[in-house]
Amino acid sequence: MRIAFVHQYFPGQFARLAKHFLDEGKHDVIAFHRGLRDGRSSDPVDGIRLIEYGEEIPPERDEKRALAGTERFIREAVSLARKADTLRQEGWVPDVVYSHTGWGSAAYLHDAFPEAKFIKYCEWFYNNTAESTQFLNPAPRPIGIRIATSLMNLPILGDLAAGDLLIAPTEFQKSQFPASIRPSIEVAPDGVNMEFFSPEPAASFALPDGRKVTRCDRVVTYVARGADPFRGFEPFMEALASLQARDPLVEALILGDRMVYYGAGHGTEDHFHEVLKSVAIDPSRTHFLGKLDYANYRDVLRISSAHVYLTVPFVLSWSMLESMATGCAVIGSDTAPVREFIRDRENGLLANFFDPQGIAARIEEALNGGPEIEAMRANARRTIEERWAADFALARHDALLARVLAQPK
């Protein structure tokens, strides 16, 4: 079977699925991607031919103009369709195409490959509900901002239009799509490698100063792409400062860079510096580790006594699911995407996103350990085994693919 993937930064969410098809040894797999022109990185998948689209398109509209994103989406979708048509003329036509709908890149791909079955990955829909847009700032949003939010959905809707199957990784992410689309979306997890993300009581991690920490230490961990308001960087740091003030043994390992990636302050380090000026953390016990390779990241999770994951109602991070798989005692925000997986005091602890003292109290519970915390750790891993393990995820994707291939075009 010939399979094509479309992802602006391939492989992204398709990494496990693409490798799965390669490993079966009976498929011809290619991928279209936008390349690395905006500084984003991409990890190649050995054996997959990459075709770049959009490189011939210079920007023509100022990024601050309302239609800048819409124009870019249309031009890049046209670029991809033309690249696909060239491929067709060379004799390569896919049986199935997987595309991430977030950028709308595959909106016109059905014009090049009308025979193919299209499976659309539905990561997020930018609705204007108070839950999704006013969580951090409840003030009414001006009509211009609301329109700009809705415009972000044009690429997504364009891509969805030709879908034979729609998939979303979680129920919460599915629920963000319009009621008319939602019944067509199947939940299909991305998957977690349970062998790699596994508990290891003997694990250790070397701090920048050379000291080693283990599960016997009082280690608080926090993982996010950056110092993002969306991921609760400020309430976490406030909770940590409060905890360190009364517990001289607490060490904090913080993974991620200093940038803001979502919402106000996007692309700057301003929020990081503002938060650090406002909290009294102990710099000798607060370790900003930046971005680590996967093995070191996994070791940080393995030695964690309390792992904090906070998020506004938004896309759930893989890091929370990977921390659960590793058997962490997770303190999660009491928000919808987290509640889909964490049940308070059963497989983790929930805390109010806006309550640093409450977060600190829950961290302290986890640090103190005991039979209840150990049971929560075991239950956390069991939750991921049952709902997000790689084998389970791939079986789900295979079943959905078989179903869509059996349907007439």
At residue 55, does pLDDT exceed 90?
Answer: no
pLDDT at 57: 67
Q: What is the mean pLDDT of residues 24-30?
A: 96
Query: For 319-370, how does the pLDDT look when each residue is reduced to its tens digit (9 = 90+)?
Result: 999 999 999 999 999 999 999 999 999 999 999 999 999 999 999 999 999 9
Pick the CATH number of 204-387 from 3.40.50.2000, 3.40.190.10, 3.20.10.10, 3.30.450.20: 3.40.50.2000
| Residue 330, C-beta contacts closer than 8 angstroms, at least 6 positions apart | 307, 308, 309, 320, 323, 324, 342, 347, 348, 349, 380
Mean per-residue pLDDT over the chain, rounded:
94
Pick the CATH number of 2-191+390-406 from 3.10.20.30, 3.40.50.2000, 3.40.309.10, 3.40.630.180: 3.40.50.2000
CATH 3.40.50.2000 in the chain, residues? 2-191+390-406, 204-387
At residue 310, does pLDDT exceed 80?
Answer: yes
In whole angstroms, what is the distance from residue 408 CA to residue 101 CA? 23
At residue 44, does pLDDT exceed 80?
Answer: no
Q: What is the mean pLDDT of residues 48-55?
A: 91
In whole angstroms, what is the distance from residue 81 CA to residue 50 CA? 15
pLDDT above 70 coverage of the chain, percent: 96
In whole angstroms, what is the distance from residue 357 CA to residue 238 CA? 8
The residue ranking higher by pLDDT, 145 or 238, is 238
Evaluate the omega torsion of the peptide bond into residue 11 and state whether it is cis, within 30 degrees of 0. yes
Q: Which of 161, 72, 160, 74 is nearest to 122 (CA)?
A: 160
Residue 230 host element (H or E): none
pLDDT at 265: 87
At residue 38, does pLDDT exceed 60?
Answer: no
pLDDT at 41: 53
Query: For 131-159, how does the pLDDT look when each residue is reduced to its tens digit (9 = 90+)?
Result: 889 999 999 999 988 998 999 999 999 99
pLDDT at 175: 97
Cβ–Cβ under 8 Å, residues 70 and 151 = yes
CA distance readout (Å), 80 to 25, 54, 75, 86, 310: 27, 7, 9, 10, 37
Q: What is the mean pLDDT of residues 259-272?
A: 91
Q: pLDDT class for 299, splitting at 50, 70, 90?
A: very high
pLDDT at 66: 67
pLDDT at 20: 97
At residue 194, does pLDDT exceed 90?
Answer: yes
At residue 61, does pLDDT exceed 60?
Answer: no
Cβ–Cβ under 8 Å, residues 133 and 125 = no
Q: pLDDT class for 18, splitting at 50, 70, 90?
A: very high
pLDDT above 90 coverage of the chain, percent: 87
pLDDT at 70: 85
Ordered DSSP codes for 260-284: --SSTTTT-SHHHHHHHHHS---GG
pLDDT at 59: 61
In whole angstroms, what is the distance from residue 232 CA to residue 346 CA? 23
